Structure 1
Amino acid sequence: MYRPTSRHEWLFCGALLAQAIIILALELFIISEWQMWVHSNITQVTISYVVPINLAIFVFTCVYELILAIDAVHHKNNLLLFAVCVSNVCILAFSAMQPTAMIEISRRLPNERDAERQPLVDIDVDFWKRVGPAQIACPIVFGICSFIIWPCAYRLHKEYAWAIYRSIHGDLSIKTRFLAYEIYLVLIKLDFYFITVFVIQYDLIDVHFEGPEFALTLALLPASFLMMVLAVWFVRKEWKIAMIPVIICHAAIIAYLISRIVVLYDDGRRANTADKDMMLLFAFAALILMAFTLICAVICVFNFNHGLREVLDEKSYKRDTHFEALSGWTDRSYSPEHRLSLE
């Protein structure tokens, strides 16, 4: 596993690691309190699985952001660095809305009854009083982490811009192709996140174990992961024939997302579901990103066999690092423009 090397890389990844650990601890506390508060008959209402699913999404987001951060510093991907920063701000906004929703749930559920007039929760327990501090702490943690990683991402951007410039030898045409390659990698990794979150919400909340749609929808998760891994490998090796089924898969996912959006906007049974707004949000985000991914994949295929593969070779990065060490470029505080002027 790759380990950060510079101080800013350690700070960037360390902040996200600390965030993931703290959020995991807070969410485990909240879900444990939830399980002790509700009764077994809570399964008669949709909220019984909406709350745990939303809590799981927070944990998955933190872990996935950490993985993307390590991947970004390993491959010196500037766009992925800032994508992680923007994602963290988005999850900060989402977490800031959760306390209000949890307050509403803690007020409404004690008044709910099942078919036998039995309460769904322990009415003697003030649920919000127990989980409120942990719920409020979540956006605070996301805010502190965002405050740390943005300056680090800026500093790493300056370092990586210089490393990339040296590896492409200042060739503007190669730089354009490399940018398209980086954009494609960022998009396909973000696609997997939004598709995963949408499938989890749609499959567990709306479809809710109804076959065969439940199994078919769930199969999208390993299929999307496999497609992401193969796409990254194929575009790096510049295999045109192998990229054709990848592009077809991009188009198929676009068609699937459009069909689910139509279903959710329809008047049918699938449209009457809890957390519908969140499903549509993630579905639209996945659809837009996947459309740009499809376009970018086609552009990358046209860029094959034009000198980019040599730049992407791991040995070229090693030669670049070795050259910097021999040339005395060990002070990374200089900007790429300053170093270029010194040449």
Structure 2
Amino acid sequence: MASSGAASSRRSNTDFISTKWAKAFFGVVAVQALICVAFEAYVFGQFQTSLGSYQGAADNVDLDSQYRTIPTFLALFIFGFLYVLLLTWDALRLKNTIQVIGLCIANLALLVYTALQIDQINSSIDKLQRANALKQDPANKDVWETIRPFLIAIPAIIGVVSLAMGYIAYQLYREFAWDILKQIGADYRMKKRFLQYQVYIALLKFDFFFFLGFTVQFLVIVTGKTDVEKGLTIAAIPITIAILLFAAFFTQRETKAGVCLVILLYFGALGYFFFKLVRIYQPGRKEHYQAVQRSLTAFAVLTIILIILTIINAFICMSNFGAGLKAHLVKPKGSDLEKDDLNSYQMNDQKPTLPSRMTID
């Protein structure tokens, strides 16, 4: 019995990529991550080896910021590709159509960011060269010419992959629709509630990436921070993770008080990002953000949009509390999962009983 249970568990861990389109989607994203991470790592290595023994960066705030800009950008993009791969696995495992669509949009965002990084890295290298901060030997003097083809290739690869992801996502949408029908049933209103729940959960996962991307750039590159501001920003990272986890938990358990508290925190985060967006261009302050002004602006704007959408969907999900969705999301304790799944499939495969008379909703 134990061995059969273990075998069943192993099968369930890989069943989500057993179909043709699931394999294709995961494979395309995995290849993109592999190639782009390799290219970003190569660029990072070339930049690091080109750095000279210049010691004036500590006295030059702008130059010190340029030193940190390129490694931070590259590390952030590497994390981005790996995070998209992780969310792809998660979306296919949960058969979350909305998250699959969100991944296509997130990939386009990566396309924009990797296109922005070309000019940003070129500008940083140019400033470092003019300050004699790079090695002057012939092999490393023109590091920009060495890494430029790789930087250009990355958004080109992402563009092609995004087209493939869009087509495969449509096929997955058709495939997952049947699975959702078996899980939720043929009730249109229940399927709509489940879709709204999926939207909310997907937004939480993307909120994390864009918040983290903004915070990392702010902490590492932006100058002129006070110790208090830096400490509060660092503390905000684990707090944000906890908020997002509790947001999902309260929504799944339909805890209205908890969701209301989370929404209040969302409004606080919204105010914070509006404040930071103004700070980026505020006279007397914008000099501190110059090295990452465009990138930080893009992250801030997208994070604001995501938070607004998250707040809207939180209210929508809360309005669905008590309508029966919780029974489909939360398994009873001590239940036999395999038996539950089998029974739910059998029940939902049956044709629904037609009402004896017409009803108007």
**Fold shared by both chains (TM-score > 0.5):** yes
| Structure 1 SS opposite 2:198 | helix
**1:311 maps to which of 328, 351, 354:** 328
Partner Cα separation in structure 2 for residue 214 and residue 208 of structure 1 = 10
Provide structure 2 residue ranges, at least 5 long, that are not aligned to the other structure: 1-9, 332-336, 351-361
**1:280 maps to which of 289, 292, 297:** 297
- TM-score where L is the length of structure 1: 0.84
Q: Which moved more, 1:83-92 or 1:205-214?
A: 205-214
- Which AA in structure 2 matches 1:310? A
- Matching residue of 1:295: 312
Count of matched residue pairs: 321
- Matching residue of 2:358: none
**2:204 maps to which of 188, 209, 215:** 188
Kindly indicate whether residue 84 of structure 2 is the aligned counterpart of residue 88 of structure 1.
Answer: no
Post-superposition CA distance 1:88-128 (Å, at most 9, x none): 1221233234334444444443222xxxxxx2111332102
- Matching residue of 1:335: none
Q: CA distance change for structure 1 residues 178 and 280 in 2, over 3 Å: closer, same or farther?
A: same
1:38, CA displacement in angstroms?
1.5
Q: How does 1:49-198 map to 2 (within 5 A)?
A: 49-112=68-131, 119-124=132-137, 125-198=141-214
- Which AA in structure 1 matches 2:318? V
1:205, CA displacement in angstroms?
1.7
The answer as to whether partners of 2:113 and 2:295 remain within 8 angstroms in 1 is no
Q: CA distance change for structure 1 residues 75 and 160 in 2, over 3 Å: closer, same or farther?
A: same
Q: Which moved more, 1:76-85 or 1:145-154?
A: 145-154
The alignment's C-alpha RMSD in Å is 2.6
- Matching residue of 2:242: 226
The answer as to whether partners of 2:118 and 2:151 remain within 8 angstroms in 1 is yes
Q: CA distance change for structure 1 residues 326 and 236 in 2, over 3 Å: closer, same or farther?
A: closer
- Matching residue of 1:14: 27
Identity %: 28
Partner Cα separation in structure 1 for residue 116 and residue 264 of structure 2 = 38
Partner Cα separation in structure 2 for residue 13 and residue 193 of structure 1 = 19
Q: CA distance change for structure 1 residues 324 and 240 in 2, over 3 Å: closer, same or farther?
A: closer
The answer as to whether partners of 1:167 and 1:317 remain within 8 angstroms in 2 is no
The answer as to whether partners of 1:76 and 1:160 remain within 8 angstroms in 2 is yes
Q: CA distance change for structure 1 residues 161 and 326 in 2, over 3 Å: closer, same or farther?
A: closer
Partner Cα separation in structure 2 for residue 173 and residue 26 of structure 1 = 47
Q: Which moved more, 1:284-293 or 1:15-24?
A: 15-24
Partner Cα separation in structure 2 for residue 272 and residue 207 of structure 1 = 5
Partner Cα separation in structure 2 for residue 146 and residue 200 of structure 1 = 26
Partner Cα separation in structure 1 for residue 314 and residue 330 of structure 2 = 19
Q: Tell me which stretches of 4 or more aligned residues in structure 1 moved more than 6 Å.
A: 324-327
The answer as to whether partners of 2:33 and 2:85 remain within 8 angstroms in 1 is yes
Q: CA distance change for structure 1 residues 280 and 71 in 2, over 3 Å: closer, same or farther?
A: same
| Structure 2 SS opposite 1:305 | coil
Partner Cα separation in structure 1 for residue 112 and residue 253 of structure 2 = 38
Partner Cα separation in structure 2 for residue 324 and residue 24 of structure 1 = 46
| Structure 2 SS opposite 1:304 | coil
Q: CA distance change for structure 1 residues 265 and 134 in 2, over 3 Å: closer, same or farther?
A: closer
- Which AA in structure 2 matches 1:93? V
The answer as to whether partners of 2:183 and 2:345 remain within 8 angstroms in 1 is no
1:323, CA displacement in angstroms?
3.8
Q: CA distance change for structure 1 residues 207 and 170 in 2, over 3 Å: closer, same or farther?
A: farther
| Structure 2 SS opposite 1:39 | coil
| Structure 2 SS opposite 1:273 | helix
- Matching residue of 1:340: none
1:158, CA displacement in angstroms?
0.3
**1:39 maps to which of 46, 52, 57:** 52
Partner Cα separation in structure 1 for residue 148 and residue 277 of structure 2 = 34
